[in-house]
Amino acid sequence: MLTVSVKWQKELFPKVEIDTSQPPYVFKCQLHGLTGVPPERQKIMVKGGLLKDDANWATLGVKEGQKLMMMGTADEIVKTPEKGPVFMEDLPEEEQMVAVGHTAGLFNLGNTCYMNSTVQCLHSVPELKSALVSYPSQKSSDLDHTSHMLTAATRELFNELDKSVKPVAPMQFWMVLRKKYPQFGQLHNGVYMQQDAEECWTQLLYTLSQSLGSPSFSENPDTIKALFGIELVSRVHCQESGEESSETESVYSLKCHISQEVNHLHEGLKHGLKSELEKASPCLGRSAIYLKESRINALPRYLTVQFVRFFWKRESNQKAKILRKVDYPLQLDVYDFCSDDLCKKLEAPRQILRDEEGKKAGLKAKEKTSGSKDNDVKMTDVERPSNESGESSKPTSKEDKKSHLTGIYDLVAVLTHKGRSADSGHYVAWVKQESGKWIEFDDDNPVPQREEDITKLSGGGDWHMAYICMYKARTVPM
């Protein structure tokens, strides 16, 4: 780490830190924050000429305390006229964000689109942001240092995104992420390698579950589990020996397995809840094949689905990608995948939801009857997006009714991958805003999109295809 001063026009910025383990582009992002000059407009004089984005600091001869000269024009700011309309550029950034209708993008720091897209999807969860706001700056004794640092960096990055309309450089978050999980710091020819967004998603949620669930911090150690955790109950059966057992596990996503028979998410999830495994059989005294059939026994507020598109190809000794088109809905009903116990718990909330939608459609609410799966599958035809479900984001008082899950979810985020290899290509986040509008977050370039185009990210070619879908639960007060 070096400390230099930077002269730009009539201003001098002392004590600007350079992380020499990062490419110069990261340093330019820092200067963008100080001067308002975008990285592509910056001309920084160093030994041998102008500083290039991908130069090697070791060969540039930059020394501690050195003064660097920078040229370049900052983004033009529209001045407020004495009289007349107020332009958006003149508003405080918080008001600009409201006017634009979405939060900021994230600079790509060198193959970090996997990280940027993950952050944008999780940043759209207001309950997660609320939990992070109250996270303390001081580390608790029962938590390791890197987990604390990554959680604090997540909180600060979310806060920056909420307050800015200009792209944010997630440098601190990226450095801490690599410190906590060194696999994200792999280099190839001196350049950071592309990584798996699903692995980043899973590892980040695991860390947050440890930090936010720390007994010394939270009265509710299951914050992340309540938001994202899925409880599965499984029947493990060996047809050869007749052995049978049951087991329970918690996961953060359902897997959509893709094969020649799978054309829709519902079919892929059905395949994903069944698997074969080989293990030692006490009865047979040798290895045997067991069939594992799982059902959902507890649902989260946000349901994550991963499309299993990458697999290890032995012939080429690398990860290959399944390009097959798999359609997914804007509304997902998982009632068919639930255990009998959970189905019984869902029946009353689902009946209330049916009655409410019947009233909205101008129909007379039917008398209370026991829910049937045939009727449940058709419910999604008339239901509205999650932000119209009547669920309150404010804490409820003791007199208020408690909200109950219905097993029906609305799509709120899609993380896509473009390309044919897991170790290359490009990741993008497509996130639904509170206003109901969809925004494509392609690193530092947020672009509005139509809802009808979101379900077209289903694969079948070289275009962006869904890798992770996040659905928000519809709830009813009871």
User: Residue 317 carries which side chain, given as an amino acid letter?
Assistant: N
Secondary structure of the chain in HEC code, one letter for each residue: CEEEEEEECCEEEEEEEECCCCCHHHHHHHHHHHHCCCHHHCEEEECCEECCCCCCHHHCCCCCCCEEEEECCCCCCCCCCCCCCCCHHHCCHHHHHHHHCCCCCECCCCCCHHHHHHHHHHHCCHHHHHHHHCCCCCCCCCCCHHHHHHHHHHHHHHHHHHHCCCCECCHHHHHHHHHHCHHHHCEECCEECCCCHHHHHHHHHHHHHHHHCCCCCCCCCCHHHHHHCEEEEEEEECCCCCCEEEEEEEECCEEEECCCCCCEHHHHHHHHCEEEEEEEECCCCEEEEEEEEEEEEECCCEEEEEEECEEEECCCCEEEECCCCCECCCEEECHHHECHHHHHHHHHHHHHHHHHHHHHCCCCCCCCCCCCHHHHHHHHHCCCCHHHCCCCCCCCCCCCCCEEEEEEEEEEEEEEEECCCCCCCEEEEEEECCCCCEEEEECCEEEEECHHHHCCCCCCCCCCEEEEEEEEEEEEEC
How far is 44 from 1, CA to CA, in rounded Å?
18
Residue of 237, 264, 404, 426 marked catalytic:
426
113 catalytic per annotation: yes
417 catalytic per annotation: no
- 468: CB partners within 8 A, 6+ apart: 121, 197, 198, 201, 253, 304, 305, 306, 307, 414, 415
Cα 422 to chain centroid distance, Å, stands at 17
- 344: CB partners within 8 A, 6+ apart: none
Of the candidates 148, 170, 146, the one whose C-alpha atom is nearest the C-alpha of residue 158 is 170
Residue of 29, 102, 113, 257 marked catalytic:
113
- 253: CB partners within 8 A, 6+ apart: 198, 202, 230, 304, 305, 306, 468
Which residues are catalytically annotated? 113, 426
